[in-house]
Structure 1
Amino acid sequence: MTAWRITLRLLRQDWRSGELYLLSAALVLTVAAITAVGFFTDRVEATMERQGSALIAADLALESSSPLAETLSQEAQSRGLETAQTVEFRSVVTAGQAPQLVQIKAADPGYPLRGALRISDGAGSQDQVSTAGPPPGDLWVESRLLRLLAVDVGDELRVGETGLRIGAILTDEPDKGRNLFNIAPRVLMSHADLPATGLIGPASRATYRLLIAGPAEAVADFKRWVTPRLAANVSLEDALNARPEFASAVDRASRFLRLATLVTLLVAGAAIALASHRLVDRQIDAVAVMRCLGAPRHLLMRVFILRLVVFGLLASLLGCLLGWLGQLGLIAALADWLEPDLPPPSMTPILIGVTTGMIALLGFAVPPLAQLAQVPPLRALRRDLGRPRASAALTLGAAGLALALLVFWQADDFELAWKLLGGVLGALLALVLSVLVLVRLAGGLAGRARGVWRLGLAALARRPSTAVLQISGLGIGILALLLLAVVRVDLLESWQETLPEGAPNYFLINIQPHEVEPLRDFLSSAGIQTPDLYPMIRGRLTHIGEQEIDPSSYEDPRAERLATREFNLSYGEAMQSDNRIVAGRWWSGGDAPPQFSVEQGIAETLGIALGDELTFWISGHAVSGPVTSLREVQWDSFNVNFFVSASPSLLQDEAATFITSFYLPREREAVVTELARRFPSVTTLDVDAILRQVRGVIDRGVLAVEYVFFFTLAAGLLVMYAGIQASLEQRRVEHGILRTLGANRRSLLISLGVEFSVAGLLAGLLASVFAESTGYLLAEQLFELDFSFNPSLWVLGVLGSSALIGLAGTLATYPLLIRPPLRTLRGEG
C-alpha cells in the first residue's frame, strides 16, 4: 500500500508539473497508429465473417468458367436441395451514346438461396427487401451507374442486342462481399433475358455458378458425392472457404499497414527514450531526498515500475480512443470501395494497442528510469555528483528486445519478421553511422568557423548522442513523406512515360469466331489500322511433368494464386513483335508438333523449366505439350500478350474467343459507340478509363498509407522536441555562463538557429538520399522502370526541413535566452 500511495502521489505531481506531457504524447501517438489500423482491418474482416452462408448466397456453390453440367443440378434436386444458377461477366451497357463497363449478373428466379436482396426506388423511400431477383425485362443497378450515365429509374439501357428497363436501384446483394472492392458498377438481370442480349457464346468469358441450399445433412451428403466428380476447372465453395483470395488480400493489406505503423513505433520509441531521459534529470533530486529519508532501493524500483504501468495504461487507453477516431479517416479515404455499413470493431484492437503501448514503454523507458534507483543519498548535498551512469547494454538490449517482439507480433510471419527486423536494424545502423559522421564533420567545421556559426556548430557536436537520436528520428519521418512522393509522383510518371506514342488504348475481348472478319471490315472502314486478332482459350494448369499442381505447396502467394486460376492461352505461327526468346526456340510453321512457349517470369514463379511437359484442363479434357521456349514479354507496350502460347496444332481445334487492341484518338470516340451497337457481344475495354480507375485505386491506397505515415511525421517532430527538451538543462547552464561572459541574446539566438537549421539540413539530406535510393530500387528491381533524378525532392527534403526545424527549435529554446543569468549561476530552477 505504501508503494501505491507514493506512486499515485508522484504521478499527480508529475502531471501537474508537466513532466509527463512529452512521454504521454509519444505513447499516445504510438498506440493511436496501431489501433487506427487495427480497428479498420477488424471491421473489414468482420464484414467477411458476419453473414455466414450469405457470403455465397447459398450453403454450397459450384463455380466454373464454362457452363456446369445439368446433371449436377438434377442430382442436388433429387436429394431435396434447392438450386439456383447465376452467370457473371463484364460487358458494356449504353444509354444513348454513352457506354459504360459494368459487371453483370444474370440470375434464376430462385436467387438468392440464402440472404436477401435490398433495392430502392431512388425516391428517398426506405429500402425494400426482396428474396428474388428482377423480373424479365428489368435491370437492378447500383446507384453509381445512374450517376455515370446520367439516367434514372425507369429509363432504358442497351444491354447487348436488347433494351432493358432500370427497375430499381440495387443497394445490397448477399454475396456482394465476394467482391468487396468493386471498380465496375454491378447490374443484376433475369437469367431469362440473357439469350436475347447475345452476349454469351460457347467460349465467352463468364463465371457460371450453381447455388445449393437445404438441410445441413443433405448438403454435406451432396458435397461428399460431388467432390470426387468435379472437373479440374470447377471449384467448390462453402461458407468456410468462400473468398480465400480476398481474405488473403485483406490479410496482406492489413499486415502491410500494421508494419507501416512500426515505423511510427521506431520513431516514437526514440521520443519515449528521450522523454524518459528528461524525466530522469528532473527526478534525481527528489529521489536523492527520498533516499536520505530512508527509502530503500527496492521500494523506489517498485514505485518506478508501478508509475510506468499506471501511466502506460492510461496513456494507451487514450491512444485507443484516438485510434478509434483515426480509423474513421481511413474508412472515409476508401469509402468508394467499401461497403457503407461496415460492422463495428471488436475489442481486439484495444487489447493489441494497450499491449503494444506497454511493451514499447517498458522497452524504451525502463532502462533510463532504472538509473533513479542508483541515485546516492549524498546527491541531495552534492549536486556535482551528476546522474548515475546508464548501462548501454541494458538500454540497447531492452529497446532491441521490445522492437523484435513487436515486429514478430505485427508481421505474423517468422521469415518476413526476420527480414524486416534485419532491414530495419541495418537501415537504422546506416542512418546512425551517417549522422555520427556528419556530426563529426560539423564539429570539425566549428573549429574553423567564427562567431555565432562556431557556437551553433559546436553545440551540435557537443551532444552527439542527443544529435543522433534527434536527427535520425526526424530523418525517418521526413523519409516516409519523401518516399511517398517518390512512389506516388515519380514512379507513376515514369510508368506513364513508358507508354509509346500511339500505344493501344482500347481492347476488344469476347470476340466470337464468326465476328472476326466483320469486325476487321468495320475497323478498316473506320480508318483504323487493321489490328491482329488473337485466339484466346481458357485452361487450368493441372500438371508440370508428372507432378500434379498443388497450390498449397507454393510458398510464394503469387504462385499459389496462379496455380488456382485459369490461364488465357493462345496459339499462332509467328511470335509477337514485342516478345523475345531467352531460352529454347520458337516453332516454325503451322504444322509444327504440339508445344508451348512460356513467359520467363511466370515460368520462374511456378517452377517451369525448358523441356517440362505441361498439362492444361480445357473444356472438359486434358491437353499436354512440352515447353520448347521461354519468352521475355514487353508488357508495357499495351499490345495483346499471353503468359502461355502454343503451336497451332495443339489448340486450334479448341473453342476460342478472340482478342485485339488498337489506338483510337479521343476525338473519334463515336467509333466505339457504333462498335458497341454493331457488335453487342464484344466487350470494349477503354484502357485510359481503366488506368484512371486504377490510378484512383492507387491514390486511395497511397492516401491510406499517407494517413498512417502522418503518425510517423508527428512522431518525428516529437523526437525533435524531445531532443530539445532533453538538453534544456545543459543548455540552461551553458547559456547562463555565456551570458555572464558577455554574449548577447541576439548572438545566442542566431547560434540556436544555426544549430537547429544544420540539424534539419542533415536530417533532410539523409532522408533525401534514402528516399532516392529506395525509389531507385523500387523502379529498377520491382517496376522495371527508368528512374530519373528529382531535384525538387532534394529542395523540399533538404532546404524545407532545414527551415522548418531551424524555426521550431529556435522558438522552443527561446525562453532560455530571456532567463536572467544570475538565476542560473545560483542554481535556481
Structure 2
Amino acid sequence: MPDFRLALKMLFRDLRAGELSLLGVALLLAVTSLSSVGFFADRVQQSLRRDATQLMGGDLLVSADAPLPPAWRAEAQRRGLQAANTVNFSSMVSTGELAQLSGAKFVESGYPLRGRVEIAPAMGQPGVVAGRIPAPGEAWVEERLLSALNVKVGDTLSLGNLQLRVGALITFESDRGNNFFSFIPRIMVNAADLPASGLIQEGSRVRYRLQLAGSPKAVADYERWLKPQIGAGQQLESLENVRPEIRGNLERIQHFLQLAGMLSVVLAAVAIGLSARRYLQRHLDGCAAMRCFGAQRSQLLGLFLTEFTVFGLAVALLGCALGFVVQLGIAALASSLIQTNLPLPSWLPVVHGLLVALVLVLGFIAPQLLHMTRVPPIHVLRREWGGMQGSVLGAWAAGILALLALFLWMAGDIKLGAWVALGFAAACAVFALIARLALGALGALRHRGQLFGWALPWGLRYGLAAMHRRLAASVVQSVALGLALMAMLLLGLVSGDLMRGWQRGLRPDAPNQFLLNIQTDQRDSLQAYFRTHNLPPIELLPMIRGRLVELRGQPVTPGDYPEERARNLLDREFNLSQGSVLQEGNRVVAGTWHGESRAPVFSMEEGVGKTLGIRLGDAVSFDVAGQRVSGTVGSIRKLDWDSMRVNFFFSAAPGVLDNLPTSWITSFRLPPGQGATLSALVAAFPNLTVIDVAAIIAQVQDLSARLIRVVQAVFGFALLAGAVVLWSALRATHDERAHELSVLRTLGASNAQLRAAMLSEFLVLGVLASVLACLGALATGQLLAIKVFDIEYRPDWLALVFYVWLAVLAVLALGWLGVRGLLRRTVVDTLRAGA
C-alpha cells in the first residue's frame, strides 16, 4: 500500500507537470477510435441475432433458383410445421407513360410466418400491421415506386400481363431480401396472380423461397432430414447463416471501420513510444537520485509500472465513454443504411478498450521503464548510463509481438491482420533506411560547406550538424513524421485520386440500359421496334444459364473451395454465351480466340479463372437444364467491366450451345429525356426486364457516399492521431535542443542565428518526412488500384506537390511553435529547468 500511494503521488505530480499530456492524448484517441467501432459492431451483431427469424420470415428458409419439390413442403406440414412460399424477381412496373425497375414478390396466405408487414392507406400515413396478404388483382407497393411512377393508392399499374390496383403502401417488410441495403422499390402481389403475369420465361432469374416455422425441435429434425437432399442451386438458411448478403455488407463496413481503428492504434503506438522516450530522458536524474537513497530496481520498476497502469486504465475508461458517445453518431450516420432499431451494446467493447490500453502502455512504455530503472546511481554525478541490455530488447520484442496479436484480433482475419502488420513493419524499415542514407549524405554535405558552388548558410550547416549528431533520434523523428504524413495523404488525397480513376473508367457514351429475358421469337420484332422509334441499333447476344459441374474431368462443388467468392460462383448458374466475334471491351491475354471454329472450346474471363483455379487448356463441363455441355478453355479474356456492355464469364464457339434453352440480352444508350420511349417499349414487350444502369450507378454512388461519411467519422481519429505523432516527434528532442541552445548562447550566438539553425533543422526534417510520406502514399495508392480497385491510378501531381509543401510548412510551424519559447529563456533558466 505505501508503494501504491507513492505511485499515485508520482502520477498526480506528472499530470500537473504536463509530462503525460501527449501520451494520454495518443492513448485516448486509440481507445476512443477502437471502442466506438466495437460498440457499433456489437450493436449490429446483436441486432442480427435478435431479428434473425424476422429477416428470414421464419425459423428456417429454403431457397432455390428453380421451383422447390412439393414433397418438401408436404413433409414439413406432416411434421407440424407452418409453411409459406414466396417467389422473388426483378421486373418492370409501368403506367401508360412511365416505367420503373422493381423487386416483385409474389406471396401466399400465411406470409410472413415470422416478423410482419406494415401497410398504410396513403402517403404520409403511419403504417399498421397488415395481418393479411394482397388480394388477387391487388398490389402493395413502396412509396418510392408511387413517386417514380407518379401514381397514388387506387390507381392501376402494369406488371407483365397483369393490371393491378394499388391497394396500400408498404411501410415495413421484416424479411426483405435487402433489409439493410436496398436499391430498387418493392411491389408485393398475391401468388395466385403469378401464372397470368407471363413474367417467368426461359432464362428468367427467379428465386423461390419456402419459409418454415414451428417448435425448435421440429425445425431441427426437419433440417436434418432435408440437408442430404439439398442440391445445386438450393440453399438452407437458418439462424447460423441468416441473410449472408446482409452479413457480408455489414462485415465489409465493419472491416473498413476496423482498419481505420488499426491506423489510429499504429499512430498512437508511435506517439506513445516517442512520448515515453522523452519521459525517460526527463526522469533519469530523479530515478538515479532514488537509487542513491537505496531504492531497488524492482521497487522503482513496480512504482513506474503501477503509475502507468493506473494512468492507462483511467484513460481507457474515459476513451470507452467517449467511444460510446461517438458510436451514437456513427449509428445516426448509418441510420439510412440500417433500417432497424439497434439494441444497446454489451460491455465487451469496454473490455477490448482496456486490453488495447494495457497492450500499448506495457508494450511501448515498459521497455523504456526497464531501461530507465537500470540507470546507475553514479549518473547523478557523472551522467553515466548503461547501454541497452538483453531484457530491455526482449521487452521491446514482446511489445511488438503484442501489437501484432492486437492487429490480428482487431482485423478478425489472420491474413488481413498479418498483411497490415507486415506492411507497417516494411514501411518503418524502408523509411528508416532512406532516412539514414539521406541524413548521412546531408551530414557529409555540411563538411563541404557548399552545394554546386553555393555556400551553405551558417544556420543550415548547424542544423545539419545537429541532426547528424543526434542521428538515431533524427531517423526516429523522420520515420514517425513520415508515417503520420503518409496516413494523412492517404486519407485526404490518394482516396480521391482512386475515386476519380474509377469515374474516368465510366465512358460518357457507355450503354445505360440493359434488356434481359428477350425470347427467340421476339428478336426480329424488337429490332424493328428500335428502327421505327429512332433508337440506336442493338446487338442481341444469346444467354444460356448453366452450372459448372466438372473441372479437369473431376466433379466440382462449392465445398471444394475455401474462399467465399468461389463458393458463391459455383453455387449459382453462370450466364453463358456463344459467338464468333470478339466483343468490344474484350482482349485475349492467353490462348487464341476461336472465331468461326465450331470446336468445343470456351473463352474464359481472366478473373473467374483465377478465383476457381481454371487454366488455359483445362476441360470444363456445364449442366444446362439437365444437359451436359463440355469443352476446353481455348482462350482467356480480360474484360473492361467499366464499359457497361454485356459481358460473359464463359463464351463458347459457335454451335457448342445450340438447341439449349436460350434467352437474349442486349445493352444500348438511351438519350436523356426519352423515358416515355422506354415506357412504350415495356408496354409493347411486357416480359422484358429493363435495367437502368445509370440509375443503379447513381444509387451505388449515393450509398458509397453515405458509407464514406460513416468511415470518415472514424478516420477523423486517425487524422488526430497523426497530428499527435507530428507533435510528439517534434517534441522528442525538445530538451536536447534546449541544452544545445543554452550552450550556443553562452558562446555568443545571437537569437537570429539560433532561429535560423532551428528552422533549418525543421525544414530538413519536414522535407525528408514529406518525401517519405509521398513515396509511401504513392506506393499504397498504386497497390490499392491494382489489387483492390482494378483501375488505372493517375495521381494528381499538382495536388500532391501542394500537399507535400503544405506538410513541410506544417512541420515548420509545429516545430517552431514548440521551441520558440526557448529563445526567450536565459541560460540560467535553462540550466535550472534541468535541460
Q: Same fold (TM over 0.5)?
A: yes
Distance 1:488 1:335, change over 3 A: farther
Residue matched to 1:510: 517
For 1:751 and 1:416, locate their aligned partners in 2 and report how far apart those are by CA, in whole Å.
Answer: 45
Residue matched to 2:747: 741
Tell me, yes or no, if structure 1 residue 21 matches structure 2 residue 21. Answer: yes
Q: CA deviation at 1:553?
A: 2.9
Quick one: which of 791, 795, 800 aligns to 2:806? 800
For 2:692 and 2:178, locate their aligned partners in 1 and report how far apart those are by CA, in whole Å.
Answer: 25
Higher deviation after alignment, 792-801 or 694-703: 694-703
Q: CA deviation at 1:258?
A: 2.3
Distance 1:750 1:191, change over 3 A: farther
Tell me, yes or no, if structure 1 residue 655 matches structure 2 residue 661. Answer: yes
Distance 1:185 1:314, change over 3 A: farther
Deviations 1:451-494 (A, max 9, x none): 33334444444433333333322322322332345653333333
Residue matched to 1:624: 629
Higher deviation after alignment, 724-733 or 249-258: 249-258
Residue matched to 1:275: 275
Residue matched to 1:57: 57
Amino acid at match of 1:60: L
Secondary structure class of the residue paired with 2:373: helix
Tell me, yes or no, if structure 1 residue 771 matches structure 2 residue 771. Answer: no
Tell me, yes or no, if structure 1 residue 483 matches structure 2 residue 481. Answer: no
- How many residues get paired? 825
Q: CA deviation at 1:108?
A: 1.4
Higher deviation after alignment, 387-396 or 747-756: 387-396
Quick one: which of 711, 722, 730 aligns to 2:717? 711
Secondary structure class of the residue paired with 2:665: strand
Higher deviation after alignment, 298-307 or 190-199: 190-199
Quick one: which of 622, 636, 641 aligns to 2:647? 641
**Considering only aligned residues, what root-mean-square deviation do their CA atoms show, in Å?**
3.1
Deviations 1:602-638 (A, max 9, x none): 123212245544333443x242312242331433332
Contact 2:276/2:368, CA 8 A, preserved across alignment: yes
Distance 1:42 1:537, change over 3 A: farther
For 1:487 and 1:131, locate their aligned partners in 2 and report how far apart those are by CA, in whole Å.
Answer: 52
Residue matched to 1:550: 557
Contact 2:118/2:173, CA 8 A, preserved across alignment: yes
Identity %: 38
Distance 1:430 1:329, change over 3 A: farther
Secondary structure class of the residue paired with 2:535: coil
Amino acid at match of 1:107: V
Distance 1:96 1:66, change over 3 A: same
Contact 2:363/2:402, CA 8 A, preserved across alignment: yes
Q: CA deviation at 1:32?
A: 1.7
Contact 2:183/2:696, CA 8 A, preserved across alignment: no
Residue matched to 2:73: 73
Higher deviation after alignment, 265-274 or 723-732: 723-732
Q: CA deviation at 1:657?
A: 2.6
Amino acid at match of 2:781: G
Q: CA deviation at 1:362?
A: 0.7
1:375-774 alignment runs, 5 A limit: 375-380=375-380, 382=381, 384-385=382-383, 389-391=387-389, 393-394=393-394, 396-447=396-447, 448=449, 449-484=456-491, 487-500=494-507, 502-572=509-579, 574-582=581-589, 592=598, 595-619=601-625, 621-636=626-641, 637-647=643-653, 649-774=655-780
Q: CA deviation at 1:642?
A: 0.8
Residue matched to 2:302: 302
Higher deviation after alignment, 662-671 or 16-25: 662-671
Distance 1:481 1:193, change over 3 A: farther
Amino acid at match of 1:335: S
Higher deviation after alignment, 86-95 or 267-276: 86-95
Tell me, yes or no, if structure 1 residue 819 matches structure 2 residue 825. Answer: yes
1:86-105 alignment runs, 5 A limit: 86-94=86-94, 97-105=97-105
Q: CA deviation at 1:772?
A: 1.9
Higher deviation after alignment, 513-522 or 646-655: 646-655
Distance 1:21 1:784, change over 3 A: closer
For 2:149 and 2:786, locate their aligned partners in 1 and report how far apart those are by CA, in whole Å.
Answer: 41
Amino acid at match of 1:440: G
Secondary structure class of the residue paired with 2:181: coil
Q: CA deviation at 1:27?
A: 0.9
Q: CA deviation at 1:271?
A: 0.8
TM-score by length of 1: 0.91
Secondary structure class of the residue paired with 1:182: coil
Secondary structure class of the residue paired with 1:479: helix
Q: CA deviation at 1:589?
A: 5.8
Secondary structure class of the residue paired with 2:427: helix
Higher deviation after alignment, 428-437 or 415-424: 415-424
Secondary structure class of the residue paired with 1:558: helix
For structure 1, which runs of at least 5 residues remain unmatched after alignment?
none
Distance 1:324 1:788, change over 3 A: same
1:43-54 alignment runs, 5 A limit: 43-54=43-54
Amino acid at match of 1:559: A
Higher deviation after alignment, 714-723 or 168-177: 168-177
Q: CA deviation at 1:270?
A: 1.4
For 2:564 and 2:541, locate their aligned partners in 1 and report how far apart those are by CA, in whole Å.
Answer: 30
Amino acid at match of 2:324: W
For 1:126 and 1:667, locate their aligned partners in 2 and report how far apart those are by CA, in whole Å.
Answer: 35
1:207-218 alignment runs, 5 A limit: 207-218=207-218
Deviations 1:574-620 (A, max 9, x none): 44354455555555669x4655433233123212245544333443x
For 1:725 and 1:559, locate their aligned partners in 2 and report how far apart those are by CA, in whole Å.
Answer: 51
Secondary structure class of the residue paired with 2:368: helix
Contact 1:600/1:630, CA 8 A, preserved across alignment: no
Distance 1:680 1:387, change over 3 A: farther
Amino acid at match of 2:30: T
For structure 2, which runs of at least 5 residues remain unmatched after alignment?
450-455
Distance 1:232 1:827, change over 3 A: closer
For 1:694 and 1:786, locate their aligned partners in 2 and report how far apart those are by CA, in whole Å.
Answer: 20
Distance 1:533 1:2, change over 3 A: same
Amino acid at match of 2:132: A
Distance 1:17 1:487, change over 3 A: closer
Secondary structure class of the residue paired with 1:294: coil
Deviations 1:292-348 (A, max 9, x none): 333222211111121122111111111222222333343344433222422222222
